Amino acid sequence: MNLNLGSTAVSLGGVTAGTIIVVLVLQRWWKKGSGGGKKGDDGGGRDWKQLIPFVVALCFGILAVLAAGPISVLGLITRLSLWAGDGIGTLYLIYGVGGSSPGVTRSAPVILTPGGYAVYAIWSAVLVGQHLWSKKLPRLQSVLGVFAGILLGLSRGVAGTAAVPLASLVNLAGSWYAGVFQ
């Protein structure tokens, strides 16, 4: 377990905690969509669009842990979340199920360009505004998505690998936004 708040490292416990969050949100969506059904209803009430806020928040969290500098508000929140989630996941793996929790941090972090940071800043403002003022947004689902993304973004596994094209897409949008393309 990494107790250094300045460090951006994740253990298997943190990745496990992030994966558990994703699985539980998907399980709740699946169960909620089956609906018990009325007569003649096929029970297929699972609308994938209900998962969009969670997926957007998950992507935001993945980028947050990669992009946020340690001397920013977002960096402080991200590192505190990473530290807490990694600690809880490590304790769960070691004392809950009797396993171990080795480090699984990717070797090279993904960095955003200046335009990418501008796009990410706009995305941050939109998510905060949505969280504060939307009456239909599932707030807990969004918060859990960001938290899970923070825990999964640094891993060398599948979720961590998704960070590379995600950061590339934000950097591409940032290049367009900043007028770098000519």
- d(Cα 38, Cα 137) in Å, to the nearest integer? 27
Question: Is the pLDDT assigned to residue 43 strictly greater than 80?
Answer: no
Q: Average pLDDT in the 122-151 region?
A: 88
Whether residue 65 is contained in a domain is answered as yes
In this prediction, residue 27 carries a pLDDT of: 93
pLDDT in tens, 79-96: 899 999 999 999 999 999
Using DSSP's 3-state secondary structure scheme, residue 119 falls into helix
Contact call for residues 28 and 140 (beta carbons, < 8 A): no
- Global pTM reads 0.83
**Is 41 domain-assigned?**
no
Residue 3 domain-assigned (yes or no):
no
Residue 38 within a domain: no
Give residue 161's domain range. 12-27+52-178
**CA quadruple 74, 87, 107, 154: dihedral sign:** negative
Contact at 8 Å (CB) between 19 and 7? no
